[in-house]
């Protein structure tokens, strides 16, 4: 066991849990009949892939708030190898699992071995 547990911290954690429920269910709360306008419904079909790209891309090409200026970065090669595997397998079967395994097989030697 590590350190003392602080009541204030526990209250903040409960608060953060409530924030998770509130944000993820914000549009589920009211049960009044209401639907999004048609254009917004159509637009939302592009939201899942946009959300993924927005989360992923900065994690691959940025370090501490700025775009990396070298190609010697393990993340670039790992992501490229993982994506290449996915498209080579045409997404069949466990292609996502393959993306993770192939990506990490490229990432670890470059990152841990060469320090990229």
Shortest approach of another protein to residue 36 CB, angstroms? Answer: 6
| 76 contacts: CB under 8 Å, gap ≥ 6 | 60, 61
Residues 35-94 that bind another protein (CB under 8 A): 35-36, 39-40, 42-62, 65, 67, 74-75, 78-79, 82-83, 86-87, 91, 94
Residues 2-41 that bind another protein (CB under 8 A): 2-6, 8-17, 19-29, 31, 35-36, 39-40
Which DSSP letter does residue 64 get? T
Shortest approach of another protein to residue 72 CB, angstroms? Answer: 15
Per CB under 8 A, does 98 bind another protein? Answer: yes
CA distance 111 to 77: 10
Q: How many CA atoms lie within 13 A of 94 on its CB side?
A: 5
């Amino acid at each position: 066991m590590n350190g003392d547990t602080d009541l204030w911290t526990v209250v903040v954690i409960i608060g953060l849990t409530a924030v998770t429920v509130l944000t993820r269910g914000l549009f589920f709360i009211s049960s009044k009949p209401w639907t999004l306008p048609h254009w917004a419904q159509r637009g939302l079909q592009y939201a899942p892939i946009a959300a993924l790209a927005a989360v992923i891309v900065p994690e691959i090409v940025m370090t501490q708030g700025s775009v990396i200026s070298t190609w010697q970065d393990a993340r670039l090669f790992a992501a490229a190898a993982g994506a290449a595997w996915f498209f080579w397998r045409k997404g069949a079967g466990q292609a996502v699992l393959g993306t993770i395994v192939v990506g990490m097989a490229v990432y670890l030697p470059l990152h841990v071995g060469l320090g990229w």
